[in-house]
Each structure stands twice: as structure tokens, then as C-alpha cells.
């Protein structure tokens, strides 16, 4: 599993909780769950690169651990995605919870070297 970073453009959903939006806008990396329109969910960190405004689209980066080939399948430039605060797993289903924003992948950056950690977070399939 390798960490991948993607340049993105996001728009916050008007229904997103204000405290969650502010966490994304403060310039630090904030964790969430990315769903690239495929029914699959990936743990991710999102870092907005400004200008900080919840009303307009802004540039950001999304970083997520992926297996070989998943970047090309789920995160090609032009693909849309949704960022959720969390996921709910119940009755053999997985769904996003706490809509934060929607976005589009602008480009893929080079993958980071493979992690030497014993255990990487696993992504969830729906």
C-alpha cells in the first residue's frame, strides 16, 4: 500500500456542519473519508490551499493510501468525488455520513515510498 496525493478542487456542501468546514479551511490536514463515485470509501487527509471560503470552490490536496492500480481506477483526473466526515457500516452496507464537500481530481502526484509501518489503515468497500 502506498500513500498517494492528488490535487483537487472542492466545493463545500451548504448542508455541511459549520465546525467541520472550519476545520478543513484552517489550513491543517483534516481526516475524512473519500468516495470517488464508485461505492468505495478510502480514508484520507484533506488540506485546503486557499483562499479559505466555504462559499466558493477552492484548491486542496487529498492524500490516501491505495493499493497498486487503485489510483488509476478511482482517482483519474476529471473524476468527481465526495468527502464524508465518516462512514457507517450496517446490515452489510457501507454509506458515507456527514457530507463535507464534493470535488474533482485535477491531477495525480507521485506516490510516496511504501510505508514501513507494520499495519496500514485499510479502505472499506461498499
Residue 13 confidence (pLDDT): 92
Residue 61: inside a domain? yes
**Could you give the CA distance from residue 28 to residue 14 in angstroms, rounded to a whole number?**
21
Using alpha carbons, select from 34, 36, 111, 126 the residue that is nearest to residue 79.
36
Residue 39 confidence (pLDDT): 82
Residue 62: inside a domain? yes
Residue 10 confidence (pLDDT): 93
Residue 122: inside a domain? no
Per DSSP, helices labelled H in 26-76 are 70-74
Residue 110 confidence (pLDDT): 57
- Given a contact cutoff of 8 angstroms between Cβ atoms, the answer to whether 31 and 63 are in contact is no
Backbone angles phi, psi at 107, to 5 degrees: -170, 160
Residue 95 confidence (pLDDT): 85
Residue 48: inside a domain? yes
Which residues in 1-126 belong to E strands, given as ranges? 2-12, 30-35, 40-48, 58-66, 80-90, 93-108, 124-125
pTM for the whole thing?
Answer: 0.79
**Could you give the CA distance from residue 111 to residue 67 in angstroms, rounded to a whole number?**
11
- Given a contact cutoff of 8 angstroms between Cβ atoms, the answer to whether 10 and 34 are in contact is no
Report the CATH number at residue 94: 2.40.30.10
Domain span at 66: 2-110
Residue 112 confidence (pLDDT): 53
What tens-digit pLDDT sequence spans the chain (126 residues)?
A: 899 999 999 999 999 988 888 888 887 778 899 999 878 999 999 998 866 676 788 999 999 999 999 999 999 999 999 999 988 888 888 888 889 999 999 998 755 555 444 344 444 455
Residue 80: inside a domain? yes
Count: domains in the chain: 1
Residue 125: inside a domain? no
Residue 82: inside a domain? yes
Amino acid at each position: 500500500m502506498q500513500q498517494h496525493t492528488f490535487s483537487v478542487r472542492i466545493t463545500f456542501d451548504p448542508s455541511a456542519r459549520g465546525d467541520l468546514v472550519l476545520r478543513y479551511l484552517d489550513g491543517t490536514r483534516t481526516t475524512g473519508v473519500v468516495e470517488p463515485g464508485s461505492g468505495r470509501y478510502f480514508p484520507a487527509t484533506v488540506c485546503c490551499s486557499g483562499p479559505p471560503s466555504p462559499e466558493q470552490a477552492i484548491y486542496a490536496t487529498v492524500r490516501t493510501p491505495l493499493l497498486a492500480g487503485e489510483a488509476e481506477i478511482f482517482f483519474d483526473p476529471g473524476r468527481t468525488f465526495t468527502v464524508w466526515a465518516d462512514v457507517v457500516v450496517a446490515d452489510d452496507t457501507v454509506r458515507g455520513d456527514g457530507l463535507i464537500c464534493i470535488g474533482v481530481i485535477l491531477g495525480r502526484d507521485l506516490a510516496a515510498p511504501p510505508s514501513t509501518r507494520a499495519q496500514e489503515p485499510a479502505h472499506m468497500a461498499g
